């Protein structure tokens, strides 16, 4: 089988590697450079603390790859399993966390449900009086997205994947309702401007709806701008602290090097849907000030003397229920899009699932039957509570 994978981020590369491992002939088309889209601006979080079974399963199926990445691909991705700490500040959120922890344990995760007094055992800066309950998983953590991208890119080259950067897909060609190839343009495009293929994989992140439309498919995937900030807190953040999320406000932080922290949060005053080809990649100063203020409400690392060092903005590819679309939408057109900020951590499992759909006719690594796009028509939506 000859497959064209569209998108040179982490999702596209993992799909290309998995397909090549199964004997497929793979061409990967990226209109810019590898990782130019969302991957290069990701925070690199890896966790199994989700509120739906399919997200937990994608995490657990991906985790062995993250934990053994250097052995598999020869690249140290600086994966630090400092854990994730999810904070509830209301009784309602605490009840939800307790239910989620039970679900996660049922799926095979090690999540612990904590009282406020236990929280400081895992993150000394959190004010226990501001917390109602929390959950913690010691095998969650964070890695360097750029290094992971490098590892998968090297693996793709080693497996004979034809990587064409500077190659934009301008149309998906169909015959009798089935994919037969793509039209391409750009510096890396072959002469003739076309690539014949038995299948096409949509792994274009914020541009997913645009590519899907070329195949006659409409999907509700929209880009959303998210920001991140590197700050020097009032008190240094220990490097072994977990990635900590306040579920009431989406405020979150994780340790960086030398006592610094990466801080983020998504607030209601974010701009409307941005143009993925033209959006501000710089952080907003007013947003940064509010971000630090919100972190200070539950953690004494932060305060008025916290110093802003640098920041950036990137794009999430978001669906209405914050779950991806993973399906064969028309014969030969497979989509792995709309991960709503969770695409990096779920990429290893997603790549395997894409290969299974195309080569076996159905997924076996993870049951993704709930991730079809028809759910948006039937109203059978999934709902991920932990969207940070």
CATH number, domain of 302, equals 3.30.9.10
Contacts of 274 (CB under 8 A, 6+ apart): 223, 224, 225, 315
pLDDT at position 267 = 79
pLDDT at position 203 = 98
**Mean pLDDT in residue range 234-240:** 96
Are 337 and 365 found together in one domain?
A: yes
Q: Which has more confidence, 149 or 271?
A: 149
Share of the chain above pLDDT 70, in %: 98
Q: Which CA distances in Å does 174 have to 26, 186, 232, 255?
A: 18, 21, 53, 48
Contacts of 269 (CB under 8 A, 6+ apart): none
Lowest mean pLDDT among 31-40, 117-126, 329-338, 344-353: 31-40
State which of 315, 335, 366 marks the end of a domain: 315
Residue 311 in domain: yes
Contact assessment for residue 120 and residue 126, using Cβ atoms and an 8 Å cutoff: yes
Are 173 and 204 found together in one domain?
A: yes
Count of structural domains, the chain: 2
> Given pLDDT bands bounded at 50, 70 and 90, which one contains residue 385?
confident
Share of the chain above pLDDT 90, in %: 93
Q: Domain range holding 173?
A: 2-45+146-221+321-378
Say if residue 18's pLDDT is above 90. yes
Say if residue 271's pLDDT is above 90. no
pLDDT at position 241 = 98
pLDDT at position 7 = 98
> Given pLDDT bands bounded at 50, 70 and 90, which one contains residue 273?
confident
> Given pLDDT bands bounded at 50, 70 and 90, which one contains residue 272?
low
Whole-number Å distance between alpha carbons of 29 and 64 = 28
pLDDT at position 153 = 98
Residue 384 in domain: no
Residue 258 in domain: yes
**Mean pLDDT in residue range 204-233:** 97
Are 134 and 228 found together in one domain?
A: yes
State which of 282, 315, 348 marks the end of a domain: 315
Say if residue 72's pLDDT is above 80. yes
Q: In terms of C-beta density within 10 A (0-12 exposed, 13-18 middle, 19 or more buried), how is residue 318 classed?
A: buried
> Given pLDDT bands bounded at 50, 70 and 90, which one contains residue 76?
very high
Say if residue 185's pLDDT is above 90. yes
Are 271 and 355 found together in one domain?
A: no
Contacts of 204 (CB under 8 A, 6+ apart): 6, 7, 12, 37, 210, 211, 337
């Amino acid at each position: 089988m000859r497959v064209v994978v569209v998108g040179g981020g982490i999702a596209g590369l993992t799909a290309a590697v998995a397909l090549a491992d199964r004997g497929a002939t793979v061409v990967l088309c990226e209109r810019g450079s590898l990782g130019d889209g969302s991957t290069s601006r990701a925070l690199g979080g890896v966790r199994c603390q989700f509120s739906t079974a399919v997200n937990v399963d994608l995490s657990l199926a991906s985790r062995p790859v993250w934990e053994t990445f250097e052995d598999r691909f020869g690249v140290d991705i600086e994966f630090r399993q400092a854990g994730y700490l999810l904070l509830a500040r209301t009784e309602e959120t605490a009840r939800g966390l307790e239910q989620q922890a039970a679900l996660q344990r049922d799926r095979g995760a090690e999540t612990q449900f904590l009282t406020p007094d236990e929280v400081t055992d895992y993150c000394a800066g959190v004010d226990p009086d501001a917390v109602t309950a929390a959950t913690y998983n010691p095998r969650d953590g964070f890695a360097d997205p750029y290094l992971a991208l490098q590892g998968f890119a090297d693996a793709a080259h080693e497996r004979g994947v034809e990587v064409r950067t500077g190659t934009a897909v301008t149309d998906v060609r169909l015959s009798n309702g089935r994919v037969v190839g793509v039209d391409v343009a750009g510096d890396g495009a072959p002469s003739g401007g076309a690539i014949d293929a038995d299948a096409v994989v949509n792994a274009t992140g914020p541009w997913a709806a645009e590519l899907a439309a070329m195949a006659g498919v409409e999907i509700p995937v929209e880009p959303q701008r998210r920001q991140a900030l590197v700050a020097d807190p009032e008190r240094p953040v220990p490097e072994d602290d977990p990635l900590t999320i306040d579920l009431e406000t989406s405020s979150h932080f994780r340790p960086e090097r030398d006592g610094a922290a990466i801080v983020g949060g998504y607030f209601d005053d974010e701009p409307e849907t941005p143009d993925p080809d033209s959006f501000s990649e710089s952080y907003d100063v007013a947003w940064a000030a509010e971000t630090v203020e919100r972190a200070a409400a539950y953690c004494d690392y932060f305060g008025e003397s916290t110093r802003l060092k640098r920041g950036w903005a990137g794009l999430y590819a978001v669906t209405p229920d914050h779950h991806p679309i993973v399906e064969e939408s028309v014969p030969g057109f497979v989509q792995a899009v709309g991960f709503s900020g969770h695409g990096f951590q779920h990429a290893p499992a997603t790549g395997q699932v894409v290969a299974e759909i195309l080569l076996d006719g159905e997924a076996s690594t993870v049951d993704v039957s709930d991730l079809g796009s028809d759910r948006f028509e039937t109203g059978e939506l999934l709902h991920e509570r932990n969207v940070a």
